Amino acid sequence: MKRRILIWLLCAFIPVISGAAYIFIAWQKPPVEELSEARLGLTEAEKVNRSPAAEIIFQHAVSQYDSAMLLWQLENDKIFFLRDYSQIIKLSDQSKQLAQASIEKARSENSDMKEILLQRKKQLTRRIEYYQSVFKHLPLSKSQRNEWAKGRMLLQEGIFAYNKHNYELTIQKFDSAELFINKIMNYSTRLIEDYFKSYPNWKHWSQSAIVNSRKHKTYCVIIDKYARKCMLYNKGVLQYECDIELGLNWIGDKKHQGDKSTPEGVYKITRKKKNGETIYYKALLLNYPNDDDKKRFIQNKKKGIIDRNANIGNLIEIHGRGGKGTDWTDGCIALEDTDMDILFEACKAGTEVVIVGSLKTYEELFK
């Protein structure tokens, strides 16, 4: 009887124990899926270009994942029915959430950075465009030209990096480009500001020439170096205007022979050279150096501004063979041959020629 009861009890409890064991084992299923999802989240976050703030969140996610893996190893060393994976699952979920937060933070800040860098790109591009529009004829040294070219090249490299969403490299390239661009821009601005201090003289010379042309019913020629224009007046009225090219070192007054500067002042035509009398098609020889030039040349020697063995130079002309699109003369004023024909026909020996830096003020041109 007792044996029957024992068998009956065993048969009754075996299903209960088996069910309980099954539930226990199922409940304690290893957190492989949770850890895999956390690892996948970290992998995705690693692909994102992270900002410093996003990097902090990402490193926290990595720390949570590493802690989960360490706990898993410790739990696996225990007897299976004593293992507890709940903390591992919690850390895995936290790591996954932090990885996603890192991605969202990076994308948000990258979006902000993208806009900031876009504005920087536009600003630097506008600076270059401005320089090209107002300073492109300024004479620069070889090293300055190289620096300007370097700045433009770095800007293009920065734009390339920007288009590739490499914002860290973009910042580096833009910073370097800005240094070169600003250096040349600042130099050019100071040069022009100093140059335009002579504007009152330029204005007086040009206005006097126009008044004399009107008063004496004669022709006069006004050369605007900055605007690259030659203007022919008759009886005080503008009759013709054309483009010109100047000496390589055109800015400022001519100081001595060989400086490749185009002189500034009030001159007279002393001789007309027909085609065949000059290698430059036709030419109008000016009375450079005039008395003011000679006086200034002597003063500059005394001050040590120029070498005491330097010569003042001569043979400054308005001549043909221009149209090269750049400054190339040794100090003369070059016109295209068709323009030279018109000027040559209108002018004669004694015609007044005024050469100024600009007919417009600094404020009109640069403000």
DSSP state of 336: -
Q: What are the residues facing 352 on neighbouring strands?
A: 220, 268
Instruction: Give the tokens for residue 319.
Output: 């001549």
Distance, in Å, from the CA atom of 235 to the CA atom of 132, rounded to the nearest integer, reads 36
**pLDDT value, residue 110:** 67
**pLDDT value, residue 101:** 81
Distance, in Å, from the CA atom of 52 to the CA atom of 42, rounded to the nearest integer, reads 16
Enter the CATH code of domain 113-196.
Answer: 1.20.1270
Beta strand 317-319 pairing with 333-334: parallel
Q: Which top CATH class is 2-109? A: mainly alpha
Which 3 state secondary structure label does DSSP give 266? strand
**pLDDT value, residue 5:** 57
Distance, in Å, from the CA atom of 364 to the CA atom of 203, rounded to the nearest integer, reads 14
Q: Do domains 2-109 and 113-196 have the same CATH topology?
A: no
**Helix, strand, coil in percent for the chain, rounding step 5:** 60, 10, 30
List the chain residues with pLDDT less than 50. 16-26
Average of per-residue pLDDT values in the chain: 88
Cβ-Cβ contacts under 8 Å for 301 (sequence gap 6 or more) = 307, 308, 310
Closest by CA to 243, choosing from 315, 324, 358, 331, is 324
Task: Please state, in angstroms and as integers, the Cα–Cα distance from residue 184 to each residue in 75, 189, 234, 251, following that order.
Answer: 67, 8, 41, 16
Instruction: Give the tokens for residue 166.
Output: 């490499």
Cβ-Cβ contacts under 8 Å for 205 (sequence gap 6 or more) = 265, 266, 354, 356
**pLDDT value, residue 22:** 45
Long-range contacts (CB closer than 8 Å, 24 or more residues apart) made by 111-115: 113/51, 113/167, 114/162, 114/165, 114/167
Domain ranges of the chain: 2-109, 113-196, 199-366
Which 3 state secondary structure label does DSSP give 263? coil
* Residues 244 and 229 sit within 8 Å (Cβ to Cβ): yes
- Phi and psi torsions of 236, nearest 5°: 80, 5
199-366 CATH fold: L,D-transpeptidase catalytic domain-like (2.40.440)
